[in-house]
Structures are given as structure tokens and as C-alpha cells.
Amino acid sequence: MKKNPKVDGNSKNRQLDGFRTEDSGEDLTTNQGLKVADDEHSLKAGDRGPTLMEDFHFREKMTHFDHERIPERVVHARGFAAHGEFEAYESLAHLTKAGFLSEKGKKTPVFVRFSTVVGSRGSGETVRDARGFATKFYTEEGNYDLVGNNMPVFFIQDAIKFPDLVHALKPEPHNEMPQAAGAHDTFWDFVANNQESANMVMWLMSDRAIPRSFRMMDGFGVHAFRFINEAGQAHFVKFNWKSTLGVHSLVWDEAQKIAGKDPDFNRKDLYEAIEKGDFPEYELGVQIIAEEDEHKFDFDILDATKIWPQEEVPIQIVGKMTLNRNVDNYFAETEQVAFHPGHVVPGIDFSNDPLLQGRLFSYTDTQLIRLGGPNFHELPINRPVCPFHNNQRDGSNRMTINKGQVAYHNNSLANNTPAPVSEADGGYSPYQEKVEGRKVRARSKSFDDHFSQAAMFWNSMSDPEQKHIVKAFSFELGKCKEISIRKQVVDMFANVDLKMSQEVAKNIGVEAPMSGASLPEKTSPALSQTNTITTPMTRKVGILLAPNFNDKDLKQVLEAFKEKGVHYEIISETQGILKGSTGTEMKVDETFSTTDPVLYDAIYAVGGPVINRKFAKEGARYIAEAFDHYKPIGATHEGMKWLHNSEMRNQPGVVTAEDMENFTDAFLEAIREHRHWNRKVD
């Protein structure tokens, strides 16, 4: 098994002033370094008297406690992060002068934060929502932040509407409900009256909105950026992170139950995977469009509500990111990390995407209020690994102690240092794009098509995925109290697919639309999760075990699990040790009361020769729930009793055996497929 490195290139390079390792055997002091003789009692006038104002130690300790919480992020508040490194597969010097992409094999430390968008810090993680996927590259030329999502499009085309979107998505202001959910009137009222959101809403109603794991979702930069090479030549670029485990999701019923059983499900999954050495990996892909080809597509390449279909603009895989170290302190790292799409390096520049242009202002403005002023870049998690010098001074939380009398440019007293650097010597210079036109509040007509790509997304889905989308619309709109909003939305999505909108209308009790738009039957197979990578690696199996189990056959299965990188937990009625039929001992990891079938990717029923009524009832529940969620089920020997007289037998993904000769391989294959959508489930 891989070891979890406690000191890697990232942490080693970043032992900066103020970055402390865990104290061990140190004297207790105040924050000013004064050694403390008593930390148990406040200073009083007599042992039963009032506390004295002069107790500076009490005041320092309490003041720090009173101010430990900073404002949470308005969006992306619920997040979890990890350290890692990015390795370039090849040189992209012909496209960009960005140093971290300029050399085959070059490694760059990274920090990645995953998040939900809508909910507060205390909300559940398996809600229907987009997921943030933000990456900070600590390059030799400065920090580069690729701030994206697990969906390649967004709700709006212009950043001026972002406050409106978030206000509509957040809990409604009159009663502060619902939390971490879009299933309410104001959100769907926004959708119906801002129809540019159609494509993003299709993604949001799809399985992509309830990922199985942060490790099993892709990431996207969303916007068109520019690559600039040494010759000053520009290309438009979109960034894509591709999970090496593929893109996999929960089913909606399962997601809701997990939110109650384990609201930390996704972060725990990431944390435990890294601790076990199952380091998450994502390959970086770029899509490139030459400047002269900007207008040759049937969509505007600068429109953030549109994808660049892979079939038209292929993805070139250029490197791999590996997350190999968990944070040491959640607050100091995950909560204080500050991302900004304007943190770029030479060779990466912006496009005129109006959503991106607004984000270039908004992110810095946000960090100023969250992190207490303009010096958030000096926090250890945000500090570059390269030196930084400028004439900026003072402000809240200033950590650098600048020497000398000069804090301005130009100057002679300090020989005009620090001095600007020419572009030839690595100084950043914006791409010299010719820009002209009248000052207007307007949007290009090329942004007007709101439904073609939404229809392409629908047309690209498999039958199970389309059914899930219909159910998602029906649930979300069914939560809206205003019938007029339900009606507006189904009428809107008749422009995507008439039959889909009619089915949703029937489910939510509104009059179905009778006509819709006539759009080309365009598809993009890459959009369907049925075309993703599948592997049994890192899947988690719950094993139902009772005393005197067949330990010989279980040992064979567990050895195969280890070989294929499958993890398991032993589940029984009580904690402790179980003995098998020949004396093999197995430690029980969880009981029926401490875990639940929704927390596993598959269930393996082994049982034992004698089980009581409670065990039999719980075992039947585990198998039934896994079956209803289309998960793999394995059953051998006494474990098959749970399937007797059941319609589950001989169903896809249900593997049983008295003879173990072919069972293990068949069960591993069922685990690899993840879900068995052709199963007959009521």
C-alpha cells in the first residue's frame, strides 16, 4: 500500500514564517510569548470574588475564542480540501509560456478545494447541487488558480446577474428555508424568467448533481481563457479535469438518506482514501481553438452557458494531478484558502466572457471581507512559493515587516526597487487584443440561443439518465407552492424536449404544453455517464457476517478484493470478534445500528449457519435497499437465504453461488459496473 507522505514538495517548500508544526512538549505561553503559570483559573479578588479587568491572559484567551469564526463564504461554504502535485505529460511551449506546462515531467505543488455551492458550512454534502472544484498551483512564477465546478456550464451569461441567481437559490429571506436546496419557488421563478439557465438546469437535474465522491467527478474551468506563447500568439483554451476513476453518482433516494445517515459522506470519503494511500487522480485536458476560428461554431465560444462539445473540439490530455496529503488544520488551510480566477501566470490570460470578467472583480472583493483585509495572501496556505516584493504596506493582519522609508514607485531613495520586469524576463503583460466599440449595456446576439445545447444534453442521455432527469424535475418543481411557477417552467423546457416537459407536467399537476421548439437532434456521447471509466478500485463493500461463517470462502473473496483495490467493512449485530467455521477471526467494523446500506457501493451477504430474527431482518433490509439502488449484491452459502423466494435472484448485478469457482470474478465484475440499470426495480 502507498504511504501517506507527511512532508512532500508542497509542505517542504512552504515552511514559511508563521507556519508552525504541531507543538510537542513546549511551554504554554500567551500569544506574546509570556510563559503562563496557571491556565485553569481567572484572576479574582479572592477565591469567590469577581474577576479582575487586569487579567490580560483571560482577556487574550477569550478574545481569541470570541473571534475564531470568520464569515463563511456566501457560496461554496461547505468545502473540503487536500494537497497534492501536478505533473505535466509534455511541453505545451508551442501554446503557452506558462512555466508549469512548459516541460515534460515538471511537477508543481497544488491545493484543491471541493465544495457544494448553495448550502451553509453545516449543510449536508449529498444534496442536489453543483460542486466546486478549485485548484491552486504554487508555481515558480506565482500562484495560478483554476477555479471551476464539476459542471462545464453555468446558469447565467453575465456576472451582473450573479447576485440575483444566488439570492434566488439561497433560503428564502422571509423564513430562511430551505437549506442547501433549489427545490423552492424563488429558484424556479428565477429559472423561468432567466431562460439562459436552461442548459445548466439540465445538468443540475442530471446525475452529475449528486456525485458518488469528489474522487469520481470531473472538473471544468467553465470559461474560455487564452494561452499565450513566447511569440505572443494566442489560442482560446478551456480546462477539463478528468477523474481516472470515472464519473459516478448516487441515486436520489440514496443521496437523501445519506444526508441523514452521514452528512460528512463526501469529505470522509476523500479523507479516508488519502489516508489509505488511494490517492485521487485527475488528468488535465485542454480544448484549443485558434483565434481565427472563434466564430466558426454554431454557438458563441465565450458563452459560459455553452460547452465546447468534445466531438467538435477534442480534449488533449496534458498532465495529471494527484492528491496525496490531507490538510493538517481545516481552518488554517481549507477555510482560509483564497481563490481568484485573476491569479494567473505569464502565458495564461482572459477572454471577454462577461461572466469571467465579473468574477475578476468579485473574488478579491469577497476575500477582503472574509479574511479581514488586503493581506490574505500572507496566510501560509495562500503564500506563493516564489519570492514576492512590492510597495504595498499596512492593512489588517499584515505579517511582513518591511524595512526602509520607501513605499512608492517611482523612487530614487531605493534605486527604484522593487522594479518592474520586462515581458522578455518573465514579467506579466496582458494580451494585446484590439478592442473597440460603443459603451453599451447589451449582450451579443450570438448569446441568444438558450435551448440548443440543453436539448443536446437531453438527447445524449441514456434511458436511465433521462428517467432520473424527469424524476428530478418532478421532485424539485413539486416542492414549489406557486402553481404558476410550475407551469412557467414546464412551458420553458418544452423548448428542450416536449415529451419530457409533458411527463413532468403530468407528475406535478399542471397543464402540459402542447408544442415546443423544433431543434436539431444533435448529440454528444461524451455527456453520458454510461460512457465513463468503470473500475472496482476503491469501491467499498459491506459484508454481512454472523458467527461460524464459511471462513475459507470468505478468505478467497477478501484476497481478491485486496488484489483489485476493493475495500470492505464487516457488519454484524454486535461489535467484537467473530470466529469462522475453522477458527478464523474477523473484527467487526460496524453494527446494524452504526452504519447503513446507503454508505456502501455493494453488499456481500455471507451470514452464518445460525442467525437470530433481528439479524435476519436487518440482512434482508440491507439487501433490499442495495437492490433498489441498483447496486451489486453478492450472496454465498447461508447468505443466499435472504434471496430465497425473491424476485431479486437472477437479476443483473446479483451474484450468488454455492460453489465459489466463478463467484469472485463475477462479483468483482458486478462491482466494476457500479450500477445495474437494467435491473427490474419496482
Task: Render pLDDT for 71-113 as a digit per residue (tens, 0 to 9).
Answer: 999 999 999 999 999 999 999 999 999 999 999 999 999 999 9
Residues 615-630: tens digit of each pLDDT: 999 999 999 999 999 9
Answer for the pair 57, 36: CB distance below 8 angstroms, yes or no: yes
| Mean of pLDDT values over 543-571 | 96
In CATH, what is the architecture of 80-378? Answer: Beta Barrel (2.40)
| Mean of pLDDT values over 399-424 | 88
Dihedral angle at the C-alpha atoms of 433, 442, 189, 449, nearest 10 degrees?
A: -70
The pLDDT value given to residue 4: 45
Answer for the pair 9, 107: CB distance below 8 angstroms, yes or no: yes
* Helix/strand/coil for 171: coil
SS (H, E, C) 629-673: CCCCEEEEHHHHHHHCCCCCCCCCCEEEECCCCCHHHHHHHHHHH
Q: With 90 as the cut, is the pLDDT of residue 34 above it?
A: no
Q: Give the burial string for 638-653 (b: 16+ CB within 10 Å, else e).
A: bbbbbbeebebeebeb
Confidence band (pLDDT; 50, 70, 90) for 645? low
Tell me which DSSP letter residue 211 carries: B
* Helix/strand/coil for 415: coil
Q: With 60 as the cut, is the pLDDT of residue 568 above it?
A: yes
The pLDDT value given to residue 1: 39
Active site residue 76: yes
User: Which of 47-56, 447-456, 537-546, 651-660 has the weakest average pLDDT?
Assistant: 47-56
Question: How high does pLDDT run on average in the chain?
Answer: 92
Dihedral angle at the C-alpha atoms of 457, 480, 464, 149, nearest 10 degrees?
A: 50
The pLDDT value given to residue 7: 38
Residue from 282, 6, 14 nearest 139 by CA: 14
The pLDDT value given to residue 22: 52
Matching CATH number, 534-673, of 3.40.710.10, 1.20.1560.10, 3.40.50.720, 3.40.50.880: 3.40.50.880
The pLDDT value given to residue 191: 98
Residues 36-77: tens digit of each pLDDT: 898 888 888 888 888 888 988 888 887 888 888 889 999 999
672: left (phi over 0), alpha (psi -120 to 50) or beta: alpha
Distance CA 489, CA 205 (A): 13
The pLDDT value given to residue 2: 43
Domain boundaries in the chain? Answer: 80-378, 460-530, 534-673
With a CB cutoff of 8 Å and minimum separation 6, the contacts of 301 are 224, 236, 289, 294, 308
Q: With 60 as the cut, is the pLDDT of residue 18 above it?
A: no
Confidence band (pLDDT; 50, 70, 90) for 17? very low
* C-beta neighbour count of 525 within 10 angstroms: 12
The pLDDT value given to residue 435: 84
Q: Which of 10, 143, 149, 194 is catalytic?
A: 149
* Helix/strand/coil for 9: helix
Confidence band (pLDDT; 50, 70, 90) for 585? very high
**CATH (residue range 460-530):** 1.20.1370.20
Tell me how far CA of residue 185 lies from CA of 191, 263, 480, 487, 570, in angstroms: 10, 25, 5, 12, 44
Q: Which of 10, 76, 223, 550 is catalytic?
A: 76
**Among residues of the chain, what percentage have pLDDT more than 90?**
76
Residues 190-227: tens digit of each pLDDT: 999 999 999 999 999 999 999 999 999 999 999 999 99
The pLDDT value given to residue 269: 98
Distance CA 675, CA 39 (A): 56
Residue from 529, 464, 495, 448 nearest 201 by CA: 495
Answer for the pair 277, 1: CB distance below 8 angstroms, yes or no: yes
653-660, long-range: CB < 8 A, 24+ apart: 653/679, 654/627, 654/679, 660/553, 660/556, 660/557, 660/636
The pLDDT value given to residue 387: 86
Distance CA 320, CA 284 (A): 6
Residues 477-492: tens digit of each pLDDT: 999 999 999 999 999 9
Answer for the pair 587, 577: CB distance below 8 angstroms, yes or no: yes
**Among residues of the chain, what percentage have pLDDT more than 70?**
96
Q: With 50 as the cut, is the pLDDT of residue 310 above it?
A: yes
Residue 544 host element (H or E): strand 540-545
Dihedral angle at the C-alpha atoms of 101, 103, 109, 112, nearest 10 degrees?
A: 30
